[in-house]
């Protein structure tokens, strides 16, 4: 059923964002690979091993990959192999929670939310909100 997720590509302020819902690597089906290219990619299926493969990551070629995974890595979300592959491709990794990560991938600070701000010139700024010890906005 996950591969019936709606796959959205948003173009905003000169930045493309790909939101594949819970689709895994097979869920992109007949979508032309060039149509998947995006600077920001919310990896599908909570970053489980099948959430993306090398072909998908090369087609999307994101600058930033966001993984929405629970900190306990329930259901094998935030798969270390997938994250390692993305990191080796030079993709910046961000997380909605603080899952345990392989030692070579920097863990995010404890936080409550991830904010991605797209500037008028297409610049992309990221920050974790609600970091322990910091004043809340």
pTM of the model: 0.91
CA angle 41, 118, 56 (to 5 degrees): 15
Examine the pLDDT at 136 and tell me if it is beyond 70: no
Q: CATH number of the domain at 18, please.
A: 3.60.15.10
Examine the pLDDT at 7 and tell me if it is beyond 90: yes
**135, part of any domain:** no
**9, part of any domain:** yes
**66-102, pLDDT tens digit by residue?**
999 888 888 889 999 999 999 999 999 999 998 888 8
**32, part of any domain:** yes
Contact 45, 51 (CB under 8 A): yes
* Number of domains, the chain: 1
**124, part of any domain:** yes
**86, part of any domain:** yes
b/e sequence 117-131, b meaning 16+ C-beta within 10 Å: ebeeeeebeeebeee
**125-134, pLDDT tens digit by residue?**
999 998 866 6
**118, part of any domain:** yes
**114, part of any domain:** yes
Pick from 5, 79, 7, 8: nearest CA to 47: 79
**Domain limits at 74?**
2-129
Tokens of 89: 């491709």
Question: β-strands 40-42, 8-12: how paired?
Answer: unpaired
Contact 21, 6 (CB under 8 A): yes
Examine the pLDDT at 110 and tell me if it is beyond 80: yes
DSSP code of residue 6: P
């Amino acid at each position: 059923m996950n591969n019936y997720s709606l796959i959205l590509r948003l173009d905003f302020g000169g930045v493309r964002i790909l939101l594949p819902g819970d689709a895994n690597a097979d869920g992109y089906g007949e979508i032309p690979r060039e149509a998947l290219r995006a600077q920001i990619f919310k990896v599908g299926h909570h970053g489980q091993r099948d959430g993306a493969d090398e072909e998908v990551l090369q087609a999307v070629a994101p600058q930033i990959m966001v993984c929405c995974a629970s900190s306990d890595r329930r259901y094998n979300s935030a798969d270390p192999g997938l994250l390692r592959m993305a990191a080796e491709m030079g993709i910046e990794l961000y997380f909605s929670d603080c899952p345990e990560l392989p030692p070579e991938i920097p863990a995010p600070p404890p936080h409550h939310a991830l904010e991605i701000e797209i500037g008028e010139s297409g610049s992309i700024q990221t920050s974790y909100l609600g970091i322990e010890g910091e004043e809340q906005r």
